[in-house]
C-alpha cells in the first residue's frame, strides 16, 4: 500500500515528534544571522537553554548532531594521549569510547552487561588507585538510549570527590535532557552533552555543551586540535547573541518556542509526565510476560523502555509488522541486542492517550506475529493511568 492514512506514530527514542508550534517557528522566514533580530533571538535561546540544563554556566550551541557535541566535549578539555575513564552501559557509551580512541586518547572502558547503569563505586575505586592523578576525565551516559537504563550522575560526582581526584566529569544527556530530571550545576558536572531531537522536541541538527569554569580552565591547556568546536570563540561572540559562523537559524527559532513550551508546562510536570508514561509502559510489558532490558528498577528510564522478546522470536520482524499494519515506528535493538529487543520511545511531545495508542499497536502486532504473550497489557497500562489520574484529582480537591 503506497499510502497509509492517519498520522504516523514515531515512537523511536529520538528523533521524537515535533509539535506544531515548534514546526511553525522553524518554518518562519530565515532571518539575517548578523542582524539585530537574530541578536535578540540568540540572547533568548542562549539564556533559556541554561534553565533546561539547570546551570548558570555557558551553554554552547552547535549546528551538529549529538555526536558533534561528544567530540566538542573531548577536544576542548583533553590532549593527545590523555587517560580517560569510560563506562560501557550500552551502544552509545561504546560509540563515545570509540571516538575517544580515534582522537588519540587512552580510554579505559569499565565493561558492563548492557542491563545496568554506571557503578559509581567502581569509578571511585579506579580513581583511588590512580595515585599519579593521570586520569583526566570520567565520561558517563546519563540515559543509555540503547538499553533504557538511567545512571546516577550525582553518585558519580560523589565518588570522584571522595577519591579526592581532580578528573573532569563529562556526561551525555542526549536522550534525557528535557525528559528526565538533570542538574548540571548541582551535580558538579563539568561538561554536559545534549541534542535537540529528543526531549527538546526539535528535529535533529542542534547539539549542546554546558561548560563549567573548571572545564574552561582545562581547555586553556588542552591541545587536541579544534576549530569548529572551539568553546572560547563561541562564548566570546555569544555574549552579544551571535555565533562565529552561520548557525542553524531556523532551528534556533524552533528552540526558542520549545523552551517556552517546557516552561509553560513546568519542568517538574514534564518529568512527572514522562515518569507516568514509563511506568504505564512497563506494567503493560510485564503483563504481556516480557522482560525489560533494564534489570534494576532503580535505573529504569522514563524516556524509553527496551523490551526483550522470548528466544526464537524476531524483534525486527515484529517492528516491520507493526509499521506495516499500524503505521508506527519502534526503535530497533543495537549492537548485541540487534533483533532481540525493540524499544518504545515515550519522550518529548506526547500525552497519555498517545501512550495507550502506542501500546495498543504493539499488542496487535504481537498477536499478528504469533508471539506468545498474555493479552490485556494495554488494559494494565490504562488501569495504572486511570488510577493515577484519580489520585491526582483527589489531591487537587
Catalogue the E-assigned strands of the chain: 9-11, 59-62, 83-87, 106-110, 135-141, 143-144, 149-150, 168-172, 191-195, 207-211, 291-292, 304-308, 328-332, 341-345
SS3 103: coil
* C-alpha gyration radius of the chain: 21
As a whole number of angstroms, the distance between CA 180 and CA 309 comes to: 26
As a whole number of angstroms, the distance between CA 150 and CA 143 comes to: 4
DSSP 291: E
Q: What is the 3-state secondary structure (H, E, C) of 121-147?
A: HHHHHHHHHCCCCCEEEEEEECEECCC
As a whole number of angstroms, the distance between CA 87 and CA 76 comes to: 20
Q: What are the residue ranges of helices labelled H in 239-308?
A: 249-265, 267-288
N-to-C CA span, the chain? 50
Binding-site members are 343
Are 344 and 358 in contact by the 8 Å Cβ rule? The answer is yes
Are 348 and 17 in contact by the 8 Å Cβ rule? The answer is yes
Q: What are the residue ranges of helices labelled H in 170-248?
A: 213-221, 231-238
Number of residues that make up the chain = 397
Count the neighbouring beta carbons within 10 Å of the beta carbon of residue 232: 16
Are 227 and 25 in contact by the 8 Å Cβ rule? The answer is no
As a whole number of angstroms, the distance between CA 22 and CA 17 comes to: 10
Q: Which residue in the block uniquely carries the three cell numbers 516480557? A: 290
Binding-site members for substrate are 343
Q: What angle do CA 376, 377, 381 make, to 5 degrees?
A: 120
Amino acid at each position: 500500500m503506497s499510502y497509509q492514512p492517519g498520522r504516523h506514530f514515531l515512537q523511536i527514542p529520538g528523533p521524537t515528534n515535533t509539535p506544531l508550534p515548534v514546526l511553525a517557528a522553524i518554518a518562519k522566514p530565515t532571518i539575517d544571522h548578523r542582524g539585530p533580530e537574530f541578536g535578540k533571538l540568540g540572547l533568548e535561546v542562549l539564556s533559556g537553554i541554561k534553565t533546561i540544563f539547570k546551570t548558570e554556566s555557558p551553554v554552547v550551541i552547535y549546528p551538529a548532531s549529538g555526536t558533534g557535541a561528544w567530540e566538542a566535549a573531548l577536544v576542548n578539555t583533553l590532549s593527545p594521549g590523555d587517560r580517560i575513564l569510560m563506562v560501557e552501559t550500552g551502544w552509545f557509551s561504546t560509540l563515545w569510547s570509540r571516538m575517544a580512541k580515534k582522537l588519540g586518547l587512552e580510554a579505559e572502558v569499565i565493561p558492563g552487561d548492557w542491563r545496568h547503569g554506571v557503578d559509581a563505586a567502581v569509578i571511585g575505586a579506579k580513581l583511588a588507585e590512580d595515585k599519579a592523578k593521570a586520569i583526566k576525565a570520567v565520561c558517563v551516559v546519563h540515559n543509555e538510549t540503547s538499553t533504557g537504563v538511567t545512571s546516577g550522575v550525582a553518585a558519580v560526582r560523589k565518588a570522584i570527590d571522595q577519591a579526592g581526584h581532580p578528573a573532569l566529569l563529562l556526561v551525555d544527556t542526549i536522550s534525557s535532557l528535557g525528559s528526565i530530571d538533570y542538574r548540571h550545576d548541582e551535580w558538579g558536572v563539568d561538561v554536559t552533552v545534549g541534542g535537540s531531537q529528543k526531549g527538546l522536541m526539535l528535529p535533529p541538527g542542534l547539539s549542546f555543551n554546558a561548560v563549567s569554569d573548571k572545564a574552561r580552565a582545562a581547555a586553556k591547556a588542552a591541545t587536541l586540535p579544534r576549530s569548529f568546536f572551539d568553546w572560547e570563540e563561541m562564548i566570546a561572540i555569544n555574549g552579544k547573541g551571535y555565533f562565529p559562523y552561520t548557525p542553524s537559524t531556523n532551528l534556533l527559532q524552533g528552540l526558542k518556542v520549545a523552551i517556552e513550551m517546557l516552561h509553560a508546562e513546568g519542568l517538574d510536570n514534564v518529568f512527572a509526565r514522562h515518569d507516568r508514561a514509563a511506568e504505564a509502559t512497563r506494567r503493560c510489558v510485564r503483563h504481556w510476560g516480557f522482560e525489560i532490558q533494564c534489570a534494576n528498577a532503580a535505573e529504569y528510564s522514563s524516556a524509553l523502555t527496551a523490551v526483550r522478546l522470548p528466544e526464537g522470536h524476531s524483534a525486527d520482524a515484529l517492528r516491520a509488522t507493526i509499521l506495516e499494519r499500524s503505521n508506527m515506528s519502534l526503535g530497533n535493538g543495537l549492537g548485541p541486542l540487534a533483533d532481540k529487543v525493540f524499544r518504545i520511545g515515550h519522550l518529548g511531545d506526547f500525552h497519555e492517550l498517545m501512550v495507550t495508542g502506542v501500546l495498543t499497536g504493539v499488542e496487535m502486532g504481537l498477536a499478528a506475529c504469533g508471539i506468545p504473550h498474555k493479552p490485556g497489557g494495554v488494559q494494565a497500562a490504562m488501569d495504572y493511568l486511570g488510577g493515577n489520574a484519580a489520585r491526582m484529582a483527589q489531591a487537587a480537591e
